[in-house]
Amino acid sequence: MDDAVIQSYEKQAEALEGSVAGMDDLRAKAIKDFAAQGFPHVKAEDWRYSDLKTLRTKAFSPANHAGETPDIPKAFTDCAARFVFVNGRFSESRSDMGDLWQAASVRPLANHFMANPDRAAELVRGRDGVGMLNTALAKDGMVIAVPAGVEIDDPVEIIHIMTGADDCAAHSRHIVELGEGASVHIIERFIGDDSSYWTNSMLQARVTESAKLYHTRLQEEGANAIHTSKAYVNVGAGGQYHACNLSLGAKVGRFEAYVRLLSDESNATIDGVALAGTGQSHDTLTHISHTMPHTTSDQIFRTVADSRGKTSFQGKVTVDKDAQKVEADQSFKALVFDRTAEANAKPELEIFADDVKCSHGATVGDLDAKAIFYLTSRGIDPVTARQMLVEAFAAAALERIEIEPLRDALMARVGDWMAERKAKPIPENKSRVE
């Protein structure tokens, strides 16, 4: 990797000294680790489907506050609070604190460790260059702690907006902590203009006994953006992490979810849809660790790639030696619209217990020509027919979102995306399923 790039990031990390109480040591370690290994290469097993060469060849500067006020997208539904980050900075004036603060503790990352600096050590450091850089450069983020027994009814939106940010990056770090039996639905949205920015975001969560974290993500970055984000979640007994990710935007997009099921009956449900238009790449990596018996996980992913679009899914499930009676399901289906579209699936099961039920399935294909003919033979034009079939295909991975207006909004995104495509049925493709 380019030394100048590393030096630039070292300078950025140095400049952040003292910006977040308690984080200096962690920052120093993270930037050192980053300098030692740089950004992951496509040759690295986990990164074979995402090429970060843009990141390796030029350093992205810290993004400045935007000159003009970007439009804040309308909420999908009533929210307990809406937190807006512009170019990586928390914008209090654009946020709506709602009534969340009455039920939960809410504060920006910058103040979080002031009272208890040793808690900074609990921050996830990241095991690759992208994660390390997030740790080294994160300055802002939301820390939401919901006390035991409190269920936040309306969702909490975290909106990331990038504007006028050519060659700039935003590294945000959000922390969610749920006490026993608590629950909250976090909606993360990522939007931006056409500038060539990089969003590098991380959310870490602790879901304790019987708590529930719902996490719906809508990635609609600008056309020239790079989007990398990671979720690290630990789930206690009877707890649940229920996530759904819809990726539409960015040139290169990647979402990783690392979930550790730490006690009996804990569950991870992770669904996702990725829609790759021409020249786009969407990569999803999930790693669910079943460390204890009677833990369950369930994943449904559906992706669609148009000409020269690419979608990838790597789903790793590990079951520890004594984790008996584990159930883990994984389903990945991809549509590719022609032979230049690409879909990759890499399910990985590492099972060290003997009494478990694990399943995975992966298919790649074009839309069913018979179904298209059936719809058109009822008067539906081919473009609408394809749109209906793609919506139905994606619905399988979106229908577990419990908030109806949110689910409908995401479904509508799928319809709109299809409405922009043209009908061109060529069944060959260069995809592979391993």
Partner 1 sequence: MLKIKDLHVNVAGKEILKGLDLEINAGETHAIMGLNGAGKSTLANTIAGRDDYEVTKGTIEFMGQDMMEMEPHERVAAGLFLGFQYPVEIPGVSNLNFLRTALNSVRKLNGEDDMSAAEFMKLVREKATHLNMDPDMLKRFVNVGFSGGEKKRNEMVQMAVLNPKLAVLDETDSGLDIDALKTVAEGINVQRREDTAVLLITHYQRLLSYVQPDKVHVMIDGKIVKSGGKELALELEEKGYADVA
Shortest distance in whole angstroms from residue 327 CB to partner 1: 24
Shortest distance in whole angstroms from residue 329 CB to partner 1: 18
Shortest distance in whole angstroms from residue 84 CB to partner 1: 35
Query: Helices then strands (H, E): number in the chain?
Result: 9, 21
| Residue with smaller CB distance to partner 1, 8 or 376 | 376
| Residue with smaller CB distance to partner 1, 227 or 386 | 386
266: nearest Cα among 209, 196, 206: 209
Residues that bind partner 1 (CB under 8 A): 368-371, 373-382, 384, 388-389, 391-393, 395-396
| Residue with smaller CB distance to partner 1, 233 or 398 | 398
Structure tokens at 365: 């294909």
Give the contacts of 404 (CB within 8 A, at least 6 positions apart).
none
DSSP letter for each residue of 270-322 = EEEEEEE-TT-EEEEEEEEEE-STT-EEEEEEEEEE-TT-EEEEEEEEEE-TT
Residue 368 CB coordination number (10 Å): 12
Shortest distance in whole angstroms from residue 184 CB to partner 1: 30
Structure tokens at 316: 């790793």
Shortest distance in whole angstroms from residue 276 CB to partner 1: 20
Shortest distance in whole angstroms from residue 406 CB to partner 1: 19
The answer to whether residues 121 and 26 touch, using CB atoms and an 8 Å cutoff, is yes
| Residue with smaller CB distance to partner 1, 97 or 383 | 383
The answer to whether residues 83 and 108 touch, using CB atoms and an 8 Å cutoff, is no
- Coil, strand or helix: which one is 225? coil
| Residue with smaller CB distance to partner 1, 28 or 380 | 380
The answer to whether residues 336 and 343 touch, using CB atoms and an 8 Å cutoff, is yes
| Residue with smaller CB distance to partner 1, 142 or 244 | 244
